[in-house]
Amino acid sequence: MRRSICYCEPSAALAGETSTWKFIYTTANHLPKGAKIRFDMESRGRAIDWQVPHTNLKDKKNLIWLEIPGHKDPIAAVQTQNTQASAAMYVFTIPLEMKPGDSFSIHLNASPCQKLVQRKKPFPLFIDPKGKGEFKDPETFHLDVRGNQLAALRILAPSVVNRNKRFDVIVRFEDIFGNLTANAPEGTLIDLSYQHLRENLNWKLFVPETGFIALPNLYFNEPGVYTIQLRNLKTNQTFFSPPIKCLSEGSLNLYWGILHGESDRVDATESIDALLRHIRDDKALQFYSLSPFDSEEETSNDLWKSISQHIAEFNEDERFVAFAGFQWLGEPGEEGLRHFVYAKDGKPILRKKDTKNNSLKKIFKTNNPKEMIAIPSFSMGKKTLYNFEDFNFDFERVAEIYNAWGSSECTEKDGNLRPIKGDKRTIAESSEGSLVKALNRGRRFGFVAGGYDDRGCYRDCFSSGQSQYSPGLTAILAKAHTRTSLIEALQARSCYATTGERMILGLHLAGFPMGSVIDTKTRPGLEFNRHITGYCIGTKPLAEVSLIRNGIVLSKIPFKENLCEFEIDDKDVLGSVVLESSNEQPPFAYYYIRAIQEDGHTAWSSPIWVDLTLRTVSLPIKKGKKKTTED
């Protein structure tokens, strides 16, 4: 049986390249005059997609048309759209009879290629011999999209290491779009160095065919802050790693990841496998949670089953921790938006339309807080508002202080540099959902950050006037790179949030780390002095570092360029500064760090709480209440 032939000229493309492409088809079947063909670009017009061509034959730039030998004029296309995938498709009507062995070619003239590397990028071609819109199974053209010229070196290294403990570094050779590439001038050499360079370490690196290389067994002899440097000896360009803090010793490691967010390059509904590989390998993140919305229209039972299977397959201790999770939107105000993250595999998606899961109280009553974390998200958005009135201390151990659509720390009026705002069609901020307000009322949670999201309640944000910022990152300080250890760290609030840069934060009060709750009954000296130590290491020069007490800046901390280390004694008598909780907890004060770089990127440490459980002096508590004995 003869088969039709599909091939492309040229057969490969460089990411982002502008060129002329020909898709040549030799038919194995008779095609009568009036037959229709449909060419699918599989492009939705996103920045990472192949640019969608137009059909006006008078404008030759970024034009698509059909040519048939024996027919002197080019044949214009009629553009249509795949309504399910919102992808561009083009229909041509054949003006003459074609016999087996005859060929036609579809031309893309001066068309910009997609910016994302892809092996065997498919271009389906559907044929309808009768011309009635009844297209058969497609033939497929394939074209390799490869990395463009070498433009940058990206260094992937741990943020925190211990003295004399060996670690590995990955170097990615990338084009201007962030794709791996080996496309570099012949003889390109890369010089590796770092501060406190050992004399016997003098490495020269070639550009590998794979586009990346692993550098094993590096270590630092002395505590301090280090930056690995790579210099392209061909161009004299220099590239630096994010900062690395070397400790004399330490029991916790720092892991970077995203708990809530999609990718702007790979859609999970199109390929969960591709998304997880992109997060793990391209983004070099160490943990990730899928976060579809609970509606069956968006997340069918089959899709949830596929998500669960992929999560189980990708979860690998000491390499990449994968979580299954979903978003659940309740009534604005009392419930708001939650991202549920499971600690184990094989768990169900809880749909709001189901009677047993139609309220948060029912969900919390029928689940175990050791196996699920509920993260209040985008709490200051009016459509996703959560007023923290029915806060659950067991499940809601962390809250999302930031995602790409804004920060919920406080209002713009109170100094929020990345506020939730937009035009009338978008989501406005509501001060009722402020995390500072919730903390001041005695709610206790650590800070995490979300990434980019265009699903569910966020669907209209991208196409409207909603202010959009960089996707955030969450840092977890845990004993081991395992799912169990990361969940335990989140439950202990041993984490912090950034707006996307790998800034390093540390905060201790009387030796206790961020997320801790300390009381004056076990440490009575805290009533008179709280010794606070910490550090901040920016990826760029710092603009401001603040120690916040009870939602108000207690101290502006001095820094030098991108480095800040501090010791502060808060000698205010605790009884004069504590807040009263709206629940049965004792009066308290809380502290956290907010660090802002010159480029606007921000990091927030999780708070540390001090409870006034034993009083030795008679002072009025804030809001006028007075206690002189044990609370």
- Contact between 400 and 376 under an 8 Å Cβ cutoff? The reply is yes
> Of 89 and 597, which is predicted with more confidence?
597
> DSSP string covering 603-615, please?
EEEPPEEEE----
204 is written with which tokens? 């020269």
Greatest CA span in the chain, whole angstroms?
101
Amino acid at 613: T
- pLDDT per position as a tens digit, 300-320: 999 999 999 999 999 999 999
Confidence of residue 628 (pLDDT cuts 50, 70, 90): very low
The dihedral of CA 614, 616, 618, 619: what is its sign?
A: negative
Phi/psi at 553 (5° precision): -65, 120
Mean pLDDT, residues 54-72 taken together: 91
Q: Report domain 504-631's class.
A: mainly beta
Element (H, E) at 484: helix 483-491
Calpha distance 85→49 (Å, rounded): 13
In this prediction, residue 85 carries a pLDDT of: 54
419 is written with which tokens? 């506020």
pTM across the whole model: 0.89
Mean pLDDT, residues 5-20 taken together: 93
Print the SS3 string covering 377-446: ECCCEHHHCECCCCCCCCCCCEEEEEECCEECCCCCCCCCCCCCCCCCCCCCECHHHCHHHHHHCCCCCE
Question: Edge-to-edge strand order for the sheet containing 212-218?
Answer: 152-156, 167-174, 212-218
For the chain, domain boundaries: 5-146, 152-250, 255-500, 504-631
In this prediction, residue 280 carries a pLDDT of: 94
Confidence of residue 1 (pLDDT cuts 50, 70, 90): very low
> If one looks up domain 255-500 in CATH, what number appears?
3.20.20
Confidence of residue 258 (pLDDT cuts 50, 70, 90): very high
In this prediction, residue 618 carries a pLDDT of: 53
Pick the closest to residue 381 from 341, 333, 416 (CA basis).
333
- pLDDT per position as a tens digit, 524-543: 999 999 999 999 999 999 99
In this prediction, residue 447 carries a pLDDT of: 98
- Contact between 386 and 467 under an 8 Å Cβ cutoff? The reply is no
Element (H, E) at 88: strand 87-93
Pick the closest to residue 549 from 596, 496, 509 (CA basis).
509
Mean pLDDT, residues 59-70 taken together: 91
Q: Give the C-alpha distances (Å, rounded to integers) separating 231 from 193, 194, 236, 485, 579.
A: 8, 11, 6, 37, 53
Mean pLDDT, residues 240-267 taken together: 90
Confidence of residue 200 (pLDDT cuts 50, 70, 90): low
Confidence of residue 619 (pLDDT cuts 50, 70, 90): low
Q: Tokens 């892809």 label which residue?
A: 118
Mean pLDDT, residues 372-391 taken together: 96
> DSSP string covering 529-575, please?
-EEEEEEEE-SS-EEEEEEEETTEEEEEPP-BTTEEEEEEEE-S-GG
Pick the closest to residue 78 from 57, 51, 49 (CA basis).
57
- pLDDT per position as a tens digit, 319-333: 999 999 999 999 999
- Contact between 377 and 327 under an 8 Å Cβ cutoff? The reply is yes
Peptide bond into 10 cis (omega under 30): yes
Calpha distance 97→416 (Å, rounded): 67
- Assess whether the region 5-146 and the region 152-250 belong to the same CATH fold: yes
152-250 topology per CATH: Immunoglobulin-like (2.60.40)
Confidence of residue 12 (pLDDT cuts 50, 70, 90): very high
Mean pLDDT, residues 367-387 taken together: 96
In this prediction, residue 294 carries a pLDDT of: 96
In this prediction, residue 14 carries a pLDDT of: 95
> Of 582 and 237, which is predicted with more confidence?
237
- Contact between 16 and 176 under an 8 Å Cβ cutoff? The reply is yes
- pLDDT per position as a tens digit, 105-115: 999 998 889 99
5-146 topology per CATH: Immunoglobulin-like (2.60.40)
Q: 83-92, 142-151, 393-402, 460-469: lowest mean pLDDT where?
A: 83-92
